[in-house]
Amino acid sequence: MVAALAGAWQFWALLAAIFAALTAILAKVGVADIPSDLATLLRTLVVVALLALIVAFTKQWRSPASLPGRSLVFLALSGLATGASWLCYFRALKLGDAARVAPIDKLSVVLVAIFGATFLGERLGAVNWLGVALIALGAWLITLT
């Protein structure tokens, strides 16, 4: 049963959501007394160290020169987007309530659906698009005071 769960994308997506929620709460407390960009840098260093350990422990390391150039370009662009996202997210957490910032950040779900359909040719059914619309509506409702 556990092995089956560990092989399912839904299991990992749920864990990602749990850790993202913890990220918002822990970061909100962590950024309270320091500049948001410094907080982002410190968090990033922790992420890099953790991932270096995981890659070394699981023997996944490969020389970047041996990797496909296309993969490297898109991973570099993704890294730039991640960095920009984290900088904006921590600045928003510094200025706003975690309970309002995180749902707006999760509008990325809506944008991923739109971008996935537009640029990657992914197909969502009517019920899926309804879910996307409800996520957008929910994020907007949370912003109301």
Over the stretch 84-129, which tens digit does the pLDDT of each residue have? 999 999 999 999 999 999 999 999 999 999 999 999 999 999 999 9
Closest CA to 17 of 5, 28, 9, 7: 9
pLDDT of 117:
97
Q: Is the pLDDT of residue 2 over 90?
A: no
Tell me the average pLDDT across 65-91.
Answer: 95
Q: Residue ranges of the alpha helices (H) in 7-97?
A: 9-30, 36-57, 69-95
Q: Helices 98-105 and 69-95: crossing angle, nearest 10°?
A: 150
Looking at the whole model, is its pTM more than 0.85? no
* Mean pLDDT across the chain: 94
Give the Cα separation of 131 and 110 in Å (integer).
Answer: 9
pLDDT band at 8 (very low <50, low <70, confident <90, very high): confident
